[in-house]
Structures are given as C-alpha cells and as structure tokens.
Amino acid sequence: MKTKYYNLTSEQTLEKLTSQTTGLTDAQVKERQAQYGPNVLEAKKHTTLLQKFIAQFKDLMIVILMVAALVAMFAGEVSDALIIFLVVILNAVFGVFQEAKAENAIDALQEMTTPYSRVRRNGEILQVKSDELVPGDIVLLEAGDIVPADMRLLSANSLKVEEAALTGESVPVDKDAAVMTETEPPLGEQHNLCFMNTSVTYGTAEAVVFATGMNTQVGHIATMLDEVDNSVTPLQKNITHLSKVLTVLILVIAVVIFVFGVVTGRESVLDMLLTAISLAVAAIPEGLPAIVTITLALGTQAMAKRHALVRKLPAVETLGTTEIIASDKTGTLTQNKMTVEQLYTPQTDLVKASAFEISPEAKLTQIMILANDSQETPDGLVGDPTETALIQYYLDRGLDITQVQKAFPRVDSIPFDSERKMMSALVENNGQTYLMTKGAVDEILRQATQIEENGQIRPLTKADKEKILKVNHDLALEALRVLGFAYKPLTDTTKEKTAKNYENDLIFVGLIGMIDPERPEVKDAVAEAKSAGIRPLMITGDHKDTARAIALRLGIITPEDTAGVITGRELDAMSDEELKQNVDRYSVYARVAPEHKVRIVKAWQAHGKIVAMTGDGVNDAPALKTADIGVGMGITGTEVSKNASDIVLADDNFATIILAVREGRKVFANIQKAIQYLLSANLGEVLTLFMMTMLNWSIFAPVQILWINLVTDTFPAIALGIEKGEKNIMQQKPRGSKSNFLSNGVGSSIIYQGLLEGLLTLGVYWIALNYPFHHTSAQIHADALTMAYATLGVLQLFHAFNSKSIHGTIFRKETFNNKYFNLAVISSAILLAMTIFVPAFNQTFHVTTLALQQWLIVLGAGVLMVLIVEVVKFFQRRFIYQDER
C-alpha cells in the first residue's frame, strides 16, 4: 500500500524512511542508490529515420499500390509502374518529414530537472548531483530552486512553490510542514509535500526525499505517457476502411472479367490476365495517397501562417471533425498573469481597477509598493505573481515606483507567514517610522482598530467590518484573490521585529481584488466554437469557484448551469462507467489531477466523440496523447506538452484553434471532393471495361486504361485538394467519428456518376459501331474504340468541374477561381489529345485519327455529363440537402 506521507509527522516520515535530521551516511546512500537507481526519468526509445520510413509502407492502400506497380512492370508498363512507385515514395517522405521529431516527452522531463541540489549528509551540507539523490536524503530548498524529487517538508519558512505545470494552479501555493488530517487531498492541496520539477518562488525549507525518478509524480506522468496508445485519427480510419472496400471490389471484378474472357475464349489467357491487371491498376486510385498527403501538407502551411504548427499530418483533418475541445485554463484560456481588477476604499467603495484614481500620496498606493518584495530587472518584474501584479498595476498608469520607495526607504520587514497570512514592511519618512501591512482581509481586520476615510482616521466599527467582509465575500465569489491593506505609525521601534510586537492596532485603508484574467479573444472564440457545434470544456487544477467564475466570463457555462462544474474529488467518487453516463452534464472540471484529464477524454470518446485537448503543462501531456487531437501551447507550454501534441499553437491563442478547425474542415471537404472525383472516374472505367467484356465488344488495351487513369485522374484530383473553403463551413455541425469520406451523399454520387460515365462511354461506342464513318470492319472497330477512349477521358475532365462542389452548382463565378485546377484540366486534356492528334503516338496507344463529327459526338457526351449531374444536384439541393444551398 502506498504511504501517504502528508498524513505522517516529520518524525514518523524520517522513521519510515530510516533517515535522520543530520542526513544519510555515505554507506546508506550507496546502498540506496543500488536499490533505487539514479534519480532520473527513463528515456524513451526513439525510432530511427529508417524505421519511420519503413512504417509508412504498412498502410493497406500503399501495399496494394506497390503490388500493382510490380504487376504493371512485369506486364511491360514500366513508365506507369515508375510513376506509381514515385507517388508511394513521395507519400512516405512527406510522412517521415512531418513525424521526424520523435516523441521527446520523457527527454524533456529529464531536461527540466535541476542538475545540483544542496543536501545534508553525514551532518554536513553538500552540493550533490540531483540524479544521485535517494529516498531519505535531507534537501535544503530556497527561492529559485527546482525541486529535485518528491519530498516531505520537515520545516518551512514562508515557502511558496510554483506548481502550475504539474497541478494547473495559477499562482504559487503556500507550503508548510504541518500534518494533514485529510485522507485523500487533491495533489494541489498537499501543502506539506513538494514535487519534482516544481519551482520554489519564495522562502526556504528543509525536506526529506521519499520518491525519486519514475516513482515521483512526474515519473507517474511519464509512465502514463509511455502507456498511452497513439490515437488513430478519423482520416486514417477512413482511408483504411476505403482501401479494404476498394480492394475487395476490384479483385472480384478483375477475377470475373478474367474468368469470363478465358471461358468464352475471346482472348488468350495472357491477354485476359494483362487486361484484368490493367483494370485493377486503373481501378485503384493510386493518386489518392498523394492527394491526401499534398492536401494535408498544404493545410499545414495554411495553419502555420495562422500560428498553428502541425507535428503530424493527419491532425490537420482531425481538427475538422472535432466535437469537444477540452482546454486547460491557466495560460490557455487565461493570461497566466495575476492582474488587479477591483479596488475598495471606504471613500470610493468598490470600483473597477481601470476607473480607480491612483496617486503616490495615497496610503493604499504606498502600501502596495512598500509591503512588496518584487524587484524590477531588465527582463521585467521578478517576484511573487500577486506582488508583481500590484507593482504592474501602478506602472501601467505611467507612475514611477522609485518615487515612493525613495520617499519611504525600508528599514526592516516581517516576512509572510502562512499561519498569520500577512507580511509587513517597516519604512521611514521624515523621521517617522511606519508599518505597512498587506494580507488576508479577515486577518487584517482582526488586527485593525481604526479606518482611514477621506484622509481622516476614525475607529473601525462593527458596521465597517461587516461591509468590508461582504465586499471580500462578493469578490471571492467572482474568483478574485483579495488582499487587505493597513498601516500604522510606530512610536517605538526598539522591540524585536515580530508580528506579535508590531502587527496590531492597524489602520485599515482598503482592499484589492486580483485575478488571472481571461484572454480577451477567447470569449469570441468560445462563441464561434459553439456556433460550429463544438462543445468547449475547461479542465483546471484551480479552485472550483475560480474555475466557475472564469467559465461564466468566457461563456463556457451560463449562470443557470450550476451543475456544470465538478471537482477531481467528485470524479474520484465515480467509476469510469458512471463518468461515461454523466460526462455530458459537466463543462468545467476543477482541482483535477493528470489521470482525471485522461478519464474525461476517454469518457467523451466512449460516446463516439472526437476530442481535442489543449494544454501547456507537464500535467496535460497524458491527456494530450490520449485525445484524438492534442494541442500544445508554444510560448508557455513545457517541452513535455509540446512533444505530446499533434499541433502546437505558436501564439498560445485559443482563437487560433478555431481557425485551425476551419482549415481542418476545408481539408476534409477537399479530400472528399477528390475522392468523389477519383472513385466515380474509376468506377466509370471499370464499368466500361466490364460491359465491353460482357457484350463481347473490343476492349481497351492495357496502355489505354493506364494512360486515361494517369492523365485524367491524378492532376485534377490533386488540384481539387487546394480548393477554397465553402463560405458556410463553420456554420455546419461537426461530422463526428461516424462520418467518412462517403458520407453526405458522396457514396451515392460516386455510384450514379460512375454509372453515368460508363453508360455515356458505351453509348458513344455503340453509336460509332452503328453509324460508322468508314466501311471496313477493322476501321469501324478501331474508330469505335478510339472514340470510346477519347470519350472516357473527356467525360472525366468535364466531370472534374462537377466535383468542385458536392451538391453546389458549377454555374457560378467560383467555378474558375482555382488557377491550379484550370491548369491541371488543360494539361490533362493536352496529354490525352496528344495520343490521338500526334500520329507518332497512334500505334503505341492503339488509336486512330478522328474526324470533326466524331469529336463533336465525344464532346457532346462530355456536355451531357455536366448537364445530367447538374439536374441531379438541383433536386438534391431542393429536397435532400437544403441546408447546403
């Protein structure tokens, strides 16, 4: 059973760890180093570039293409085989390039560890390497130190520790050595423990190490990172499913054609084998992997311009499916910077900070500056965030703090103490010494006997106290951190400088409410997310009231949604099944631990939801990896969180996520258009060849099939991948996990459009046979086959324009706004026409030169293709997809 050191006294802890206040002996250290190993996090094994490259070829579609390329090569179609190989290799290179940075989360955790620690061993204070620490070591801490291991405090003097990266707490937490009676306190409330990789911001302490390396809280997170499976994105699922379906259909059709041809004796076994192979090669959309990769790569470039840096290609499209955005609060939704928001004085009552008239002569101002240990440096203010906020408020108004500091030089101070919750500075002005005090409002009032109002000092009445406490309570409900301010002139400064001697009979002057404010752009981003059908969640280590107040201000919850906030402790009381059943009730999670975040993500995923998780701390890393899409913060984010993410926001701007979602939706729509075009074209080819075989007509030569497939499929399809997004793309609901590339009518469109292509091609072939332009049978059949070949190619090029919108009409100005698409169609048309118009190619491609009337029939079929599809789209918009007009 795991020892709960926060419930043990200092003496019990030392006894449990077989240690003493003088520290371990050299013999004990050596023995424990052998037992526990070095105080480091285990490095994760990285895959080599070669392994990453080989891994790209595990995809089923890639395997099929490789086999098809080999078969094509053996069939004599070397050029086509080389092109397929080139497409596959380019696809693999793109994938390796995007994923070249291996998961360095554990390495980043190691780099955060401080290299040396001050330790008491053999009764002496030594500097030792942090990786040599063992359980039982006595460590000395002071401001600026990184905590090198998990430890139980033995003594603490005004100790404050920054734990935001581990717990999500937005301000440094007070620590002391007192025993906790609570049996299961949240990580952020274990005030007598310090954790590895957190930082000391104030005070000093002495502590005993109870956990090192992978046994620490950070080590626990590292283990969770290692255990988390890399999620398969919806895009990868869709491509895999599509590949399997296509493989089965293509193999069945190829076998049927081969068997039928052989049985009827119309062609030799070798010829039918080559025909079946050519059909299989033509039917497989070998351009699809390249189109998907190029579309995603272009999406990453567009997102990079919007400060969203993509680490893994499929993450671009996954964002477009997002239904839940679970966001860390501190530094993501808020500025991670304490800010003065409201002030109260007896003469002004409660006013907004921006409206408060501040002056160097006011006592409240003087106390803010003087009872303050912050320091100005070339890099900005350094000190406790609460204290720096007070100074920053003054500086933001163009005032000079040195003016006050020089007029009231400090002569002594009484440091902050977590028991009395106050700190005081003794300052001197014109021979008079003053005590300047700030602290918890109730503690200040307990020591105050007078109040300053309009420059006059009078007794502090019961009514005054009740009013001040009510203001304090109201501000606390708004999740503001409230400080009280008081002073008194000193008549005797010879006493020992202790709180008992000086902090009494104070004159109350006012109080100040501070908060880590929300980012100004986030409220609009939350509103846009909701309008796009995306549910935003807040997950934080902060107090429940703080989380609720920020969520209300951002619009994540409404005032009526009182049940929408839950704590980590309440989550612990739920089983995974109970959480799954109730997860849709909650939008705000407070006081959570890393494992809670993973549970929340998994609970939503159990409902089939696509979850994006944003975060910047070490504590966010496991959930970032578990989520369908992990979004790290580039500025405030730790290397751990960034390496665990799929996308990193370079500007830490929550609004950037919404821009990225828009880009993700556009990417999916463009891939869907390309797939509709490719598969309908390939279905037309398969149907044409199948019916020619069944009707005992002459069939296309393998080179004809492969050439049409190459020049008319790939270039226009790639160009479809860079279409501009639809105007109403962010007003549509998320597609969700159950959608795929064949959803929204795409599957049925592929079928009817493919059938239409095949029927029109066969129709032209039939016309050429029955209304010939030549007299000999050989010439008639050669012309018919050439016209069918030209028709199949022309139909696909005309149909490329149909595919620019799934249900929208092409009779609009946007139809020709993609210059790359126009160029692709023209290039494909030229390459197709060359095989017929250039005599040198006629024999190679088994075609004849066509007359003008024959070309008019071919082009007429292309126009008919457009018109029929337009009529179908009209009825689709009118009766089925009315919201997508």
**Shortest CA distance to 611 belongs to which of 534, 527, 523, 522?**
534
Looking at per-residue confidence, does 451 or 231 come out higher? 451
What pLDDT is recorded for position 380? 80
Number of helices (H) and strands (E) in the chain: give both, helices first. 33, 26
The catalytic residues are 328
Structure tokens that stand for 593 in this block: 């631990």
CATH 1.20.1110.10, the chain: domain bounds: 236-308+662-884
Structure tokens that stand for 629 in this block: 């899409």
What pLDDT is recorded for position 450? 96
| Confidence check: pLDDT of 806 > 60 | yes
Decide: 307 and 698 in contact? Cβ < 8 Å: no
**CA angle, residues 661, 665, 668, in degrees to nearest 5:** 140
Angstrom CA distances, 537 to 157, 292, 572, 751, stand at 38, 31, 19, 41
| Confidence check: pLDDT of 395 > 50 | yes
Decide: 335 and 164 in contact? Cβ < 8 Å: no
Structure tokens that stand for 327 in this block: 């966001």
Overall average pLDDT of the 87-102 stretch: 58
The CATH code belonging to domain 236-308+662-884 is 1.20.1110.10
What tens digit of pLDDT does each residue of 271-303 get? 676 667 666 666 666 566 667 767 777 777 778
In the Cβ-directed half-sphere of 15, how many Cα atoms lie within 13 Å?
A: 5
Overall average pLDDT of the 89-99 stretch: 62
DSSP of 255-312, one letter per residue?
A: HHHHHHHHHHTSS-HHHHHHHHHHHHHHHS-THHHHHHHHHHHHHHHHHHHTTEEESS
| Confidence check: pLDDT of 434 > 80 | yes
| Confidence check: pLDDT of 741 > 80 | no
CA distance 451 to 486: 9
| Confidence check: pLDDT of 532 > 70 | yes
What tens digit of pLDDT does each residue of 18-61 get? 999 899 999 999 999 999 999 887 755 556 677 767 776 765 55
Which of 3.65.10.10, 3.40.50.280, 3.40.50.1000, 3.20.20.70 is the CATH number of 318-335+519-658?
3.40.50.1000
What pLDDT is recorded for position 640? 64
**Shortest CA distance to 786 belongs to which of 830, 722, 841?**
841
What pLDDT is recorded for position 234? 57
What tens digit of pLDDT does each residue of 189-221 get? 899 999 988 888 788 899 999 999 888 888 887
| Confidence check: pLDDT of 116 > 90 | no
Helix-helix angle 105-112:217-227, to 10 degrees: 170
Length of the chain counted residue by residue:
885
Confidence of residue 602 (pLDDT cuts 50, 70, 90): very high
Structure tokens that stand for 407 in this block: 């007029």
CA distance 338 to 703: 71
What pLDDT is recorded for position 266? 63
Report the SS3 class of residue 436: strand
DSSP β-ladder status, 308-310 and 481-490: unpaired
The values of phi and psi at residue 601, to 5°, are -60, -45
CA distance 884 to 626: 34
Whether this model's pTM surpasses 0.75: no
Residue type, 358: I
Report the SS3 class of residue 646: coil
CATH 3.40.50.1000, the chain: domain bounds: 318-335+519-658
Overall average pLDDT of the 371-383 stretch: 84
| Confidence check: pLDDT of 724 > 90 | no
What tens digit of pLDDT does each residue of 131-142 get? 899 999 999 998
Report the SS3 class of residue 429: strand
Confidence of residue 666 (pLDDT cuts 50, 70, 90): confident
Residues 6+ apart with CB under 8 A from 561: 587
Helix-helix angle 60-74:269-283, to 10 degrees: 140
Look up residue 607 and give its DSSP letter.
T
Residues 6+ apart with CB under 8 A from 736: 321, 323, 608, 609, 610
Name the burial class of residue 178, with classes exposed (0-12), middle (13-18) and buried (19+) by CB atoms within 10 angstroms of its CB: middle
In the Cβ-directed half-sphere of 470, how many Cα atoms lie within 13 Å?
A: 8
Average pLDDT, the chain: 83
The values of phi and psi at residue 243, to 5°, are -60, -45
CA distance 306 to 310: 11
Decide: 159 and 200 in contact? Cβ < 8 Å: yes
In the Cβ-directed half-sphere of 272, how many Cα atoms lie within 13 Å?
A: 21
| Confidence check: pLDDT of 105 > 60 | no
DSSP β-ladder status, 647-649 and 629-633: parallel
Confidence of residue 518 (pLDDT cuts 50, 70, 90): confident
Overall average pLDDT of the 525-546 stretch: 87
The CATH code belonging to domain 342-515 is 3.40.1110.10
What pLDDT is recorded for position 5? 93
440-443 contacts, C-beta under 8 A, 24 or more apart? 440/483, 440/484, 441/468, 441/469, 441/472, 441/482, 441/483, 441/484, 441/511, 442/469, 442/472, 443/484
CA dihedral 62, 63, 67, 69 (to 10 degrees): 20
Greatest mean pLDDT among 247-251, 533-537, 729-733 lies in 533-537
| Confidence check: pLDDT of 101 > 50 | no
| Confidence check: pLDDT of 469 > 80 | yes
| Confidence check: pLDDT of 232 > 60 | no
What pLDDT is recorded for position 1? 62
Confidence of residue 700 (pLDDT cuts 50, 70, 90): confident
CATH topology for the 5-43+107-227 domain: 2.70.150
What pLDDT is recorded for position 482? 93
Greatest mean pLDDT among 111-120, 309-318, 820-829 lies in 820-829
Overall average pLDDT of the 413-421 stretch: 84
Confidence of residue 109 (pLDDT cuts 50, 70, 90): very low
Share of the chain above pLDDT 90, in %: 34
CATH 3.40.1110.10, the chain: domain bounds: 342-515
**Shortest CA distance to 513 belongs to which of 363, 344, 669?**
344
Overall average pLDDT of the 653-658 stretch: 80
Phi-psi map region of 488: left, alpha, beta (phi>0 left; psi -120 to 50 alpha): beta
Decide: 678 and 713 in contact? Cβ < 8 Å: yes
Decide: 481 and 424 in contact? Cβ < 8 Å: no
Query: In whole angstroms, what separates CA 760 from the centre of its chain?
Result: 48
DSSP of 626-639, one letter per residue?
A: HSSEEEEESSS--H
Query: In whole angstroms, what separates CA 460 from the centre of its chain?
Result: 53
CA distance 296 to 90: 13
Overall average pLDDT of the 137-163 stretch: 88
Range scoring the smallest mean pLDDT among 399-413, 727-741, 810-824: 727-741
Element spanning 199, H or E: strand 199-211
